[in-house]
Structure 1
């Protein structure tokens, strides 16, 4: 994807932020705060009856501010700095949803990678956050799920904590040191 810079950066935002397809297509320069390394999501791009339309996001919770990883903040700042014609309220990504679909088709064809839906990049982001150990509440807040119940659709992916619970109970009962605790933070419990 890197040989088409606009679509590459749109896919970077989609994957690393876990946002809906219309949200990056509505982004303007004003949505980025590179000092705080944040991205404001407060609108979505639609193409309705031949016209570009900017709408509110899908749900109330979809209005949010995301903290960007350093590398993505740097990439986007560099990319935007190389768009001299861009006005503050212009869309950064002028590609359309169908253009992104074409680009994912092209990228998959060229690499031999199985094609996924663009929305599946959002699912991949959620799956990655689960694997990293973040809670359903934290993930729901980041991706703008209206309810944590939506995030629990991924419940099968959340790690089983039963073994960890048993280990902690052993430590509690036997006064053993938790191997994951910092040195000097030993805790013992009296009966």
Structure 2
């Protein structure tokens, strides 16, 4: 991997051949490097991007993996993966040659990860992301086998917390004068909607005659801005029944929004708004805090009783 000195400009350049994605032999010339090692490093990194071999660095493998995933998963999903991989995987493996990474290296990395005292579910997910990268190397770069041989830890039993009707009433009574926040939490509590689904909600999604809400999108934060996208899975798209009292509350709230377009979001807030509000209010009124997601799990679930009738009774119990 030689580099050459340009005597006229007193800089270095690299000149080499490579095979492109169509199998064609091509020449590459890059000038303007101040140091010889910079020219050699640029050539090495360039060739790694075109290499179809596991004899590349993990950093180069990760770059290939990202390009592979870009058009195959949602941008929001890939963003989550990138944050996790670049925080917990890339620092350890970055400069290692992929074909030389051993199960012993994996165990060493796993031990470091376990010492971070992350939750078991998060730790297992990080390990899964590493397995996905090596699977890509097996499928597309000719790696013979994955060095990830075992699970990193046992899964922990998930704990679902909830509020009783009395506890929710304490919370809702406290925020009743804040109509935007009150309406948002009423919808969350009595429909089982996810927060992203709530924050993407428009009047066009609500059928006041049929007493239903169509869940057809969710709010996400991608590349520095909020946008809506279809639910993650087909099952997440659904139509839910809504009790009469909740429809009345939504109608009252919407009428107070000046110039509301039926296609505009009812709650023009960030994804953090609900969680921060819940935490702050619980600390003020000495109420047991729960996660926003736990509002989807009331202490009882409807069985044979009609859904809307169940929640009419549920509300009356408070």
Normalised to the residue count of structure 2, the TM-score between the two structures is: 0.40
Q: List structure 1 segments (4+ residues) > 6 angstroms apart after TM superposition.
A: none
The alpha carbon displacement at 1:133 in A equals 3.3
- Looking at structure 2, the residues matched to 8 and 95 of structure 1 have their Cα atoms a distance apart, in angstroms, of 14
- Alignment partner of 1:72 is 2:242: no
- Alignment partner of 1:62 is 2:232: no
Alpha-carbon RMSD across the aligned residues, in angstroms, is 1.9
- Alignment partner of 1:128 out of 276, 283, 300: 300
- Alignment partner of 1:13 is 2:187: yes
- Looking at structure 2, the residues matched to 78 and 101 of structure 1 have their Cα atoms a distance apart, in angstroms, of 24
Point out where structure 1 has 5 or more consecutive residues left out of the alignment. 140-191
- Alignment partner of 1:23 is 2:236: no
Q: Equivalences for 1:158-173 in 2 at 5 Å?
A: none
> Where does residue 76 of structure 2 map in the other structure?
none
- Looking at structure 1, the residues matched to 217 and 190 of structure 2 have their Cα atoms a distance apart, in angstroms, of 18
Q: Which has the higher contact order (CA 8 A, sep 6+)?
A: 1
Q: How many residues align?
A: 133
The alpha carbon displacement at 1:84 in A equals 2.4
Normalised to the residue count of structure 1, the TM-score between the two structures is: 0.64
Point out where structure 2 has 5 or more consecutive residues left out of the alignment. 1-174, 308-318
Which protein is bigger by CA-based radius of gyration?
2
The alpha carbon displacement at 1:2 in A equals 2.1
- Alignment partner of 2:284 out of 110, 124, 127: 110
- Alignment partner of 1:52 is 2:207: no
Q: Equivalences for 1:141-180 in 2 at 5 Å?
A: none
